[in-house]
Amino acid sequence: MSFFVPWLISFTERDDKEIVMIETMSVQSVLKRAQIAGILERTCQELELTEAQFELAKNRYETAGVWLAESDEPLIRGAEIYPQGSMSLGTTVKPLGRKEHDLDLVSLLRHLVRSVSPASLKRAIGERLRANGHYRDILEEKPRCWRLVYANEFHLDITPSIPNLACGRGGELVPEKNRPEWKPSNPKGYRIWFEQRAQLKPRIRLTEAEFAKMRAQVEALPEPTAFKGLLRRTVQICKRHRDVRFSTRESRLAPISIVLTTLAAKSYAYCATHFSYDTELDVFLDVVRYMPAFVERRMVDGHERYYVWNETTEGENFAEKWNADPRLAEAFFAWHKAAVTDFEQLVLLAGLDQMGRELGRFLGEIPVNRAINALTQAVSAARTGGRLSVVAGVGLTTGTPAGMPVRSNTFFGR
Amino acid sequence: MRSDGPRRLTAAQQYASLQTARLSGAHGSLRIGRLTWEFEAQPLPISRLYRVRVQYRQGATPDALVIAPDLEALADGRDLPHVYQQRPTRICLYMPGTGEWRPDKRIVDTIVPWAVLWLFYFEDWLITGEWSGGGEHPKVKDDAKKNSRDRRRRD
């Protein structure tokens, strides 16, 4: 029997009495972890593209897509435009210290073959965009793509691509940075691959009775108390932790998002299918812990080489640059160690203020303070609405009639 | 007993209702017309565990003191908001004269949940520098100065 409940993903009834020997966590620990997950969830909501921004971006890139497709230039006539990366995966994170999200798009030309050079295709796209008064002044050239800069909103990065006929999985070819050749990629396949992993439900080890009791108490806490999409949130938290860490370090050494995303997805799939957990927060912690296990290492000519394979195409190693510059690999492992240390000590903290300060230190003060503020507002709204209670062993609750109601009062004094 | 108005509760009645409330880590003492009650308060699962003592003398108003941890130390030099006394911290939970608390009301239904709520806003104040719990300040000359100092904020 299996239930779906937002804060605990799933519950599987135990028929094996031996397993009952596993000691589950105290209610207090479960509640604390649910609340930490809730603050992390709220922080991610502050960092990601809002639904309105998403719709606006979609509108903008679709319009640009039509403009490209209607070109008389045979190279780009019929171009299809679609999102890749964080926008298509649902893992956007606002860059530090700037308002604009970076959104990656692919402009696929289905009728072209390898003999067309990436440079000529990119040039044709640039010319077509420049021919439109709306785009002329907001167009910027990047090494592999064209960027449309919508100030205060987002950057739309348009990368040209063509079908990869050698790939049996519907892959594409995209320009390689600083080189005149095409390289294999598979944005659509990657999205499906990521989605399949995100849909896995980790196992939670609680008896039905424990589960029912804890659920009632968790649901009474001020919301949110759960992650909306554990893998996506894990990716966003890791990316944000990286952004904050490298804001005071050499930023070109920061692990790239696709490496963090791929390792988190592989680790998540492994943890969800091999272990069972008390809470979602424990799943999150384990997923981060196991990330480096999915970096493949090989000794080549006496040197350690690193591979983070794109499983949806042949020959795309997301960690390829690590092999040219070992400092990139070192920076990843050092980031990972710091992230695990920072995330693991959260459960040891006591005090809304301590939690807020620590999270603010490694995820940034602005989104974390907003998340804390949302929690305070939830309590205050329940108080005003006469829904606030104190439940012994839980504390302030906003979602249950049980416990001692907090009657109207006026704090007095200096 | 007065015949006009609601019935005042005796210290013994207050004590009995505190005993039945099953507050965690609670214990107390009762003497004629006087009670002390201590309990553990944790406003949220991520909050600290605080030790609160309620002192009540029949006919007077109940006092709520935060015994541990030391709130002044946590405030790190800032003046605590909504307190009568800084150390040990005697917290202000209701407005006198409004009937929010009256001798016919049970401490366990009023002072106890209000103390938990006060501690919640206290932890919020520690990080934001702002008291989000609302309330009234008695008129004092340096009020404006104090408020502006409280307003140093994040972002």
At A18 the pLDDT is: 37
pLDDT above 60 (res B143): no
- pLDDT for residue A413: 75
Domain membership flag for residue B4: no
Q: Range with the lowest mean pLDDT among A121-125, A176-180, A379-383?
A: A176-180
Neighbouring C-beta atoms of residue A151, cutoff 10 Å: 9
pLDDT of residue B139: 62
* pLDDT at residue A19 tops 80: no
- B86: pLDDT strictly greater than 90: no
Segment A326-336, tens digit of pLDDT? 999 999 999 99
- pLDDT in the model for residue B152: 38
Q: Which two tokens stand for residue A113?
A: 């073959």
A15 and A56 in a single domain? The answer is no
- The answer as to whether A137 is a domain residue is yes
Domain assignment present for A381: no
The number of distinct structural domains making up chain B is 1
Percent of chain B with pLDDT over 90: 66
Task: Summarize the confidence of residues A269-291 as an average pLDDT.
Answer: 96
Asked if A170 and A255 sit in the same domain, the reply is no
Contacts of B82 (CB under 8 A, 6+ apart): A411, A412, A413, A414, B91, B92, B118, B131, B133, B135
pLDDT attached to residue A10: 39
Alpha-carbon gap: B31 to the closest alpha carbon of chain A (Å): 26
Query: B11 and B30 in contact (C-beta within 8 Å)?
Result: yes
How many angstroms separate the CA of residue A374 from the nearest CA in chain B? 11
Indicate the pLDDT class of residue A104, thresholds 50, 70 and 90. Answer: very high
Beta strands at A101-108 and A80-84: parallel, antiparallel or unpaired: antiparallel
Query: Among A67-71, A216-220, A408-412, which stretch is predicted with the lowest mean pLDDT?
Result: A216-220
pLDDT of residue A401: 64
**CA dist., res. A264 & res. A293, Å (int):** 10
The proportion of chain B whose per-residue pLDDT surpasses 70, expressed as a percent, equals: 85
Say if residue A302's pLDDT is above 50: yes
CB contact under 8 A, B22 and A392: yes
pLDDT band at A121 (very low <50, low <70, confident <90, very high): very high
Q: Which of A127-131, A310-314, A400-404, B52-56 has the lowest mean pLDDT?
A: A400-404
The answer to whether A352 contacts B108, with C-beta atoms less than 8 Å apart, is: no
Mean of per-residue pLDDT scores for chain B: 86
Instruction: Give CA–CA dist A224/A218, Å, rounded.
Output: 10
Do both A44 and A56 map to the same domain? no
User: pLDDT > 90: what percent of chain A?
Assistant: 79
- Whether B80 is in a domain gets the answer yes
> What average pLDDT does the structure give for chain A?
91
Instruction: List the one residue out of B98, B71, B5 whose CA is nearest residue A407.
Output: B98
**Residue B149: is its pLDDT beyond 50?**
no
- Does residue A57 share a domain with residue A29? no
Which of B84, B89, B91, B120 to mutate: most A Cβ within 10 Å? B120
Is 70 exceeded by the pLDDT of residue A4? no
Share of chain A above pLDDT 70, in %: 93
Residues in A closer than 8 angstroms to B49, CB to CB, are 350
Residue A241 has pLDDT above 60, yes or no: yes
Residues 6 or more apart in contact with residue B40 via CB below 8 angstroms: B23, B24, B25, B26, B49, B50, B51, B52
Q: What is the predicted pLDDT for the residue at A196?
A: 98
- Are residues A206 and A154 part of one domain? no
Tens-digit pLDDT profile for residues B11-38: 999 999 999 988 889 999 999 999 999 9
Q: What is the CATH number of the domain that holds B63?
A: 3.10.110
Residue in chain A nearest B140 by alpha carbon: A414
Q: Which of residues 126-145 of B touch A (CB under 8 A)?
A: 126-128, 131-138, 140, 143
Angle at B134 between CA B133 and CA B138, to 5 degrees: 125
List, in order, residues 6 or more apart from A320 with CB less than 8 Å away: none
Nearest to A217 by CA among A349, A389, A379, A351: A389
Q: Residue A37: its pLDDT value, please?
A: 96
Q: Which residue of B has its CA nearest to A380?
A: B133
Angle separating helix axes A352-363 and A365-384, nearest 10 degrees: 150
* Structural domain that includes position B92: 11-150
- ipTM of the predicted structure? 0.88
Q: And the tokens for A99?
A: 């308002």
A22 and A136, same domain (yes or no): no
Task: For residue A359, give how far its alpha carbon lies from the nearest alpha carbon of chain B (Å).
Answer: 12
Q: pLDDT-based confidence at B87, cuts 50/70/90?
A: confident
Partner residue facing A352 (CB), from B24, B44, B154:
B44
Segment A347-383, tens digit of pLDDT: 999 999 999 999 999 999 999 999 999 999 999 999 9
CA dist B32 and B57 (Å) reads: 9
Pairing outcome for strands A203-204 and A182-185: unpaired
- pLDDT band at B88; cut points 50, 70, 90: confident
Does A130 share its domain with A141? Answer: yes
Q: Do residues A267 and A233 both lie within one domain? A: yes
Residue B2 lies in a domain: no
Pairwise CB contact (< 8 Å): A413 & B82: yes
Residue B96 inside a domain? The answer is yes
**Any idea how long chain B is?**
155
pLDDT (tens digit per residue) in A211-226: 777 888 888 888 888 9
Q: How many domains does chain A have?
A: 2
**Span A161-171, mean pLDDT?**
90
For residue A405, tell me if it sits in a domain: no
Whether the model pTM is above 0.80:
yes
* More confidently predicted of A105 and A217: A105
Q: What pLDDT sits at residue A51? A: 94
Q: Which of A164, A187, A210 is the last residue of a domain?
A: A187
Contacts of A375 in chain B (CB under 8 A): 44
Distance from CA of residue B133 to its chain's centroid?
A: 13
Does residue B155 belong to any structural domain of this protein? Answer: no
- Class of residue A229 by CB neighbours under 10 A (exposed 0-12, middle 13-18, buried 19+): middle
Quick one: closest CA in A to B74, which residue?
A: A353
pLDDT at position A159: 96
The enclosing domain of A127 has a CATH number of 3.30.460.90
What is the C-alpha end-to-end distance of chain A, expressed in Å? 56
pLDDT at A98: 86
Does the structure show a pLDDT above 80 at A24?
Answer: no
Per-residue pLDDT, A251:
94
Instruction: Summarize the confidence of residues B98-112 as an average pLDDT.
Output: 94
Q: What is the pLDDT of residue B142?
A: 46
CB-CB: which of A35, A353, A360 is closest to B123?
A: A353
What's the domain range around A101?
A: 52-187
Flag if A413 and B128 touch (Cβ within 8 Å).
Answer: no
Q: What is the pLDDT of residue B97?
A: 85
Mean pLDDT for A385-393 is 90
All residues of chain A having their beta carbon less than 8 Å from the beta carbon of residue B82 are 411-414
